[in-house]
Amino acid sequence: MAGPSLLDGITVLDLASVGPAARTSRWLADYGAGVVKVGPTPKQGGVQITPPFYAYAGHRDMRRAQFDLKVDAGREAFLALAATADVVIESFRPGVVDRLGIGYGVVKQVNAGVVYCSTTGYGQDGPYSQWAGHDINYLAVGGYLDCSGRDAAGGPALPGATIGDGAGGGMHAVIAILAALVHRAATGEGAYLDVAVADGVLSLMSLHLDEFLATGAVPAPRHDLLTGRFACYDVYPCRDGAWLAVGAIEPQFFANLCRALGCEQWIDHQHDDGVQDAIRADLRAAFATRDRDDWVAALGPANTCVSAVASVPEVVDDPHFARRETFSDAHDAQHGEFRQLGRVLAGMNRHQGVAEVRPGTTTDTGELLRGAGLNDTEVTALLEEGVVA
C-alpha cells in the first residue's frame, strides 16, 4: 500500500491540455497533489488539443472539470472552484485570462493565498511575448541550438527530447510553484508566477552565458570540454554499429580508459588540442574491435565513465531501470493494458499499482463544485444550462 505523498492536500487547477503547463501538473500530481484538468465544455469542441491516451501518463490520478468561461455563469462556477485551490496554472497567451475574467487579479479576490502560474513561451512582457512558438524556438533564442552538435548539412542538430518544454518550462514552473508554496506556508501570502520557457532555457545555458559575459569567449560546438573539444568527452561507434558515450572528464578516469583500450600513450595528453584528432582516431579504432555491449560490460564498472547510447526500446528493457521500478502498468478501456513511465523523480511515491486511464468524456465537475460549496440545485442548473459539463 502506498504511503502519504509529499504534496498530499495541495489542490491544483490546470487549464492547459498540452505543453509545459501540462508537464507541470503531471509532476505535481506525481508528488501527490490533487490535480483538476480544466477544459472547455463539449459545445466548444476543438478549442483545446486532445493529447493521445498515453500522453502525460494518461492523466493518471487527475480529475476533470469543464466550464464555458465565455459566459458569466460558467466563469463564476470556475471562480468558485478556484476559491478552494492552492495553485492555478494557465498557458494562454498573455492577456487572454484577463479578457476571460479569470486572471490573477480576479482569482486573488476570491482566494488571497492562491499561487497563480502563467506559463508561456516568452513571458508576459517583452517584444516576443505575443509570438507563437514551440520547443525548437525557445531552444533557438536561448542559444542552446547554436551550441549543439551539427547535422549532416552543417546546421544545428535537433535535440532528441523537448528540453525547453520539459526542463525550461515544466520543471521551471514546478520549482517556482513549490517555492511559492513554501513562502505561503511561512507568510500566508500567495504569488503570481510569470514562467517563460525561454527564461528557463537561459538558466540551462548558464555555463555558456556566464563564460561569454565574463570572458568574451563565444561558445559553440567543440568550444569546450562539454561540447566535444576533447576526445575524452564524445561518442564512438562500435563493431556492431551501436554507439558508446564517453565522459572521462577527470584525469584518473581518462587514464583508466586509455589503459583499457591499449592507448596508454595518450594518458598525459588529455587536453592537448594539437593531438585530439589522433586520440579520437585511436579510440575509434579500439572501440571498433568489439560490440557495444561487450565494451559496456567491461568498461562500465571500471571507472571509465563509459555507457551505451541506448535506444528507447533498450531503455524500457534496461535491468537497472527495472530494478528501480521506473516503469509501471496502466489500463485504458479502449486500448487495454500498456506500460508507462512511472513516478521517477526523487520523493515521488513509486508504488501505486496499475493506473487507470479514464475516458476523455468523464468529468468530475459536479462533485468538485459541490465540494466548493455549491448546492445540488445550483450544480444541476449549471449542468442543464451547459455552462459546465
Digits of tens for pLDDT over the chain (389 positions)?
Answer: 456 899 999 999 999 999 999 999 999 999 999 999 999 998 876 667 888 999 999 999 999 999 999 999 999 999 999 999 999 999 999 999 999 999 999 999 999 999 999 999 999 999 999 999 999 999 999 999 999 988 888 899 999 999 999 999 999 999 999 999 999 999 999 999 999 999 999 999 999 999 999 999 999 999 999 889 999 999 999 999 999 999 999 999 999 999 999 999 999 999 999 999 999 999 999 999 999 999 999 999 999 999 999 999 999 999 999 999 999 999 999 999 999 999 999 999 988 789 999 988 899 999 999 999 999 999 999 999 999 99
If you classify domain 11-203+328-385 with CATH, what class do you get? alpha beta
- Asked if 165 is an active-site residue, the reply is yes
The hierarchical CATH code for the domain 225-237+243-308 is 3.30.1540.10
Of the candidates 165, 199, 234, 282, the residue annotated as catalytic is 165
Residue 77 bridge partners (DSSP):
none
Of the candidates 134, 331, 335, 351, the residue annotated as catalytic is 134
Which of these, 333, 389, 383, lies nearest to 362 by C-alpha position? 389
Domain with CATH 3.30.1540.10 in the chain: 225-237+243-308
Which of these, 299, 317, 233, 229, lies nearest to 260 by C-alpha position? 299
Q: How many residues does the chain have?
A: 389
Grid coordinates given for 2: 502506498
- Asked if 134 is an active-site residue, the reply is yes
**Contact present, 338 and 58 (Cβ < 8 Å):** no
Give whole-number Cα distances, 49 to 37, 45, 52, 365, in Å: 13, 10, 10, 20
CA–CA distance, 259 with 239 (Å, rounded to integer): 19
Domain with CATH 3.40.50.10540 in the chain: 11-203+328-385
Record the pTM.
0.94
